[in-house]
Structure 1
Amino acid sequence: MTTEERLTTRQAAERLGVKPETVYAYVSRGLLGSRRAPDGRGSTFDAREVDALVRRTRRPAQQPSGDDAGNGIGVVRTGITLIDGDRCYYRGVDATALADRHRFEETADWLWTGVMTPGTRFTAPPEALAAARAAVAALPGHSGTGDRLRVAAIAMAAADPLRFDLAPEAVVGVGRTLIPVLIDALPAAGQEHRGEGRAAWRLWSRLTARPADEASLRVLDAALVLLIDHDLAASTLAARVAASARAHPYAVVSAGLGALDGPLHGAASGLAHRMLAEVLERGSAAAVVADHLRAGRGVPGLGHRLYPREDPRAVMLFRLLQAVPHAAPALGAAREVVATASRDTPLHANVDLALAVLSLSCRMPPDAGETVFSVARTAGWIAHALEEYEERPLRMRPSGHYVGPRPPRPLP
């Protein structure tokens, strides 16, 4: 093979064992480079780069199928997020740099398509929004935001007869409409901001009646960017399992929302919110931290197993929160909690504590951080669905290790 060997789209597809449109999906996700053909018709691809991608995606010769397709899923190849040391990268780009430069919609769309389009806006289709709002309105009054988001996603799926179209452009289209529907289906807490149509503006009016200010909206938008993805968290793994079974993207997001509903995942910022509120009420972080330790609980919002030192998402959000005047008391409480809990063992604030400062200082409910988390992570689940749809179906089917009574046993 010479260094100059180039392949046509069809040749690259044959070598990879995929359809031609999948080759372009690899390009959009940064897995493969392309160059315009000399005659201007179509694209060409570096044969060495194609062969390297073949080696990375090669499947065993004998593949089980259907319900018996059991294999280990300890490692899942992904080109979406890398956590390395104390940094988080989306497709090789520092997530905090993206949050500093680009809006949530721009970053999400770039993650799906590989193209950064300044000024990108997502729009809620009227029919889908009406279906989602009707379903949400039918829930009991005590329903939480997580309940409303799950119901809205299911209602939107039922209203979409083309939901089983898993072509990349169709899945991206679902992402662009699902996110605004999830936001707009929530009951308004304050004045709606329709002027700019940005996700952060729309979400703000669902979370608080407090008038929006640019500094607070900046924090909210950055939080949405920083929470889009975080490797294979529990909810993301659930979403990929659904995508592996070729569930449609609405069902993939529903699977993620279901896993996120657990107290050990999405609810962490709510626990930190209540802790900071108690610190401000009692005037002492030491007493509150002591109560958590006495009860055998960890201190909410501290530490993260994936970061040896500081959570870079928290570092950025705390920096932005310093520009929010009414956040000063909650920021002070958070710093006091960190200092108190770190007296003997070094501990650092994580993103949940930063979300708690935002929600508490902006008069949002305790579950506001979970709402922000859910809306942001929807973009990440769509990205993982796009990636998983290119893999062998049902590959995430581990084999069970039976430990029950050995048969035969008498009929009960």
Structure 2
Amino acid sequence: MVSIVTDQEAQRLTTREAAERLGVKPETVYAYVSRGQLSSRRGPGSRGSTFDAKEVEALVRRGRRESSAAAGGELSVRTRITLIDKDKYFLRGVDATELARTYSYEEVAEWLWTGVLRPGIRFTAPREAAEAARRAVDALPAHCGPTDRLRVAAVAAAAADPLRYDLSEAAVLSTARTLIPTLVTALPLVGTAHHGEGPLATRLWPRLTAKTPDEASLRVLDLALGLLIDHDLAASTLAVRVAASARAHPYAAVSAGLGVLEGPLHGAASGLAHRMLAEVLERGSAAPVVADHLRTGRRVPGLGHRIYPGEDPRAQALFTALEEVEQAAPALAAARDVVATTARHTELYANVDLALAALTVASAMPAEAGETVFAVARTAGWIAHTLEEYEERPLRMRPSGQYTGPRPPQPLP
């Protein structure tokens, strides 16, 4: 009998060949299979497994890239979402500030997820999920902050969705379009309710302030949402990708991001800037307020950014838009006073937290409102990173610890 070997079969490797190519033991090859990093099948007329040569080669290349990144001392993650370059940032190669100025938050989010612009798209919360989230949030103690409420709302929405474990792209996109409005709907109303099917900014506004908005104010809030939608691998986004790497469902991935966002150096930073601007307006000058911060060893909030050498482009866009809001003039003047006062001693520029604080102060919102805006906005970016991470091999976010404890063997305590 003549054995005919197809081209496809010729491109498959035995376990030994795959192990040699990867530089590992044969049992490690099967560990890769169990973790979903390689696929295997029985060879024709053989009891052993064979492996696709292209898959093995891709795993070799991936290992080289990750080893190179680890040698640099920092975790490096491939992403096609955000690029930060000098004084600008881009979403999928498009200037992010121009996107936020031109399109609504929901339009930018949909485009970020799918690459398709759908003018006028509106995200709607399902009744069952919205009711579950509202009940859960209403049961919280009164002193709870906005991130507490949003985390609980995300968990409640997940519990109401029996299909949450479906990680297909279509299912995750469906979840994304309903989760964001569910989070907004779950927040308690402060002002007069607006139509539930309007733009997300219109639905979010009465949950931030009792003040009646004008069109210019709603445009600025929508702009802020669009500007904050993503900003590369911020701490919360990295947490989201770690969760997605373990194949957590999208609700859980968003919950991971919300947990990190609550830190004072991340999502809560705008609240510190809000309180500072309110004090500047009360005292009539930035000089004594800045002096108090410096005297007590505190950094002046809302200034400087580790990525941008100059002014944060998101701050520039928000400050420009706030100039169209008449009642924002005092808060804008206070923010500029803070920047000018600190510039006498050190060259620090405004970041997005200061601009967001100018919006919240001008709109009679509480100090925590900026944190709410940040969290709602960034949820869309987290979903984009979740979708991207699902395309990678599972559990790749597993750095090795550098043990610094006592060397074994140690006596039993």
**TM range, smaller chain:** 0.7 to 0.9
Q: Tell whether 2:277 aligns with 1:276.
A: yes
Task: Name the SS for the 1:263 alignment partner.
Answer: coil
* Aligned position for 1:188: 189
Identity level (%):
70
Task: Name the SS for the 1:88 alignment partner.
Answer: strand
* Aligned position for 2:104: 103
Per-residue deviation, residues 297-322 of structure 1 (Å, max 9, x unmatched): 11100111111111111001000000
**Corresponding letter in the other structure for 1:334:** A
- Measured in 2, the distance between the counterparts of 1:367 and 1:239 equals 22
**Corresponding letter in the other structure for 2:267:** G
* Aligned position for 2:207: 206
Q: 1:133 to 1:411 in 2, by over 3 A?
A: same
- Measured in 2, the distance between the counterparts of 1:291 and 1:367 equals 22
Task: Name the SS for the 1:59 alignment partner.
Answer: helix
| C-alpha contact (below 8 Å) 2:89/2:95 kept by paired residues | yes
| C-alpha contact (below 8 Å) 2:273/2:353 kept by paired residues | yes
Unaligned runs of 5+ in 1: 1-10, 15-53, 64-70
Residue 281 of structure 1 and its aligned partner are, at CA, apart by 0.7
* Aligned position for 1:242: 243
Count of aligned pairs between the two proteins: 354
- Measured in 2, the distance between the counterparts of 1:308 and 1:220 equals 26
* Aligned position for 2:60: 60
Matches within 5 A, 1:5-154: 58-60=58-60, 72=70, 74-154=75-155
- Measured in 1, the distance between the counterparts of 2:226 and 2:101 equals 9
Residue 85 of structure 1 and its aligned partner are, at CA, apart by 1.0
- Measured in 2, the distance between the counterparts of 1:62 and 1:149 equals 36
* Aligned position for 1:215: 216
Q: 1:190 to 1:407 in 2, by over 3 A?
A: same
Matches within 5 A, 1:219-230: 219-230=220-231
- Measured in 2, the distance between the counterparts of 1:184 and 1:305 equals 34
* Aligned position for 1:351: 352
Per-residue deviation, residues 305-343 of structure 1 (Å, max 9, x unmatched): 111111111001000000111111111100000000011
- Measured in 2, the distance between the counterparts of 1:168 and 1:404 equals 43
Residue 58 of structure 1 and its aligned partner are, at CA, apart by 3.6
* Aligned position for 2:172: 171
* Aligned position for 2:24: none
Residue 358 of structure 1 and its aligned partner are, at CA, apart by 0.5
- Measured in 2, the distance between the counterparts of 1:101 and 1:370 equals 24
- Measured in 2, the distance between the counterparts of 1:261 and 1:153 equals 15
* Aligned position for 1:19: none
| C-alpha contact (below 8 Å) 2:83/2:232 kept by paired residues | yes
Task: Name the SS for the 1:60 alignment partner.
Answer: helix
Task: Name the SS for the 2:89 alignment partner.
Answer: strand
- Measured in 2, the distance between the counterparts of 1:58 and 1:324 equals 54
CA RMSD in angstroms, aligned pairs only:
2.0
Residue 409 of structure 1 and its aligned partner are, at CA, apart by 2.0
* Aligned position for 2:407: 406
Matches within 5 A, 1:260-271: 260-271=261-272
**Corresponding letter in the other structure for 2:241:** R
- Measured in 2, the distance between the counterparts of 1:347 and 1:356 equals 17
- Measured in 2, the distance between the counterparts of 1:336 and 1:101 equals 30
* Aligned position for 1:312: 313
| C-alpha contact (below 8 Å) 2:274/2:354 kept by paired residues | yes
Task: Name the SS for the 1:147 alignment partner.
Answer: helix
- Measured in 1, the distance between the counterparts of 2:275 and 2:197 equals 32
| C-alpha contact (below 8 Å) 2:124/2:197 kept by paired residues | no
- Measured in 1, the distance between the counterparts of 2:406 and 2:160 equals 46
Task: Name the SS for the 2:60 alignment partner.
Answer: coil
Per-residue deviation, residues 271-303 of structure 1 (Å, max 9, x unmatched): 000000000111110000011111111110011
Residue 406 of structure 1 and its aligned partner are, at CA, apart by 1.6
Unaligned runs of 5+ in 2: 1-7, 12-53, 64-68
- Measured in 2, the distance between the counterparts of 1:248 and 1:74 equals 23
* Aligned position for 1:388: 389
* Aligned position for 1:40: none
Residue 62 of structure 1 and its aligned partner are, at CA, apart by 9.4
Which has the higher mean CA deviation after the structures are superposed, 320-329 or 399-408?
399-408
- Measured in 2, the distance between the counterparts of 1:61 and 1:198 equals 45
- Measured in 1, the distance between the counterparts of 2:288 and 2:226 equals 34
- Measured in 1, the distance between the counterparts of 2:384 and 2:247 equals 14
- Measured in 2, the distance between the counterparts of 1:345 and 1:137 equals 46
Residue 408 of structure 1 and its aligned partner are, at CA, apart by 2.1
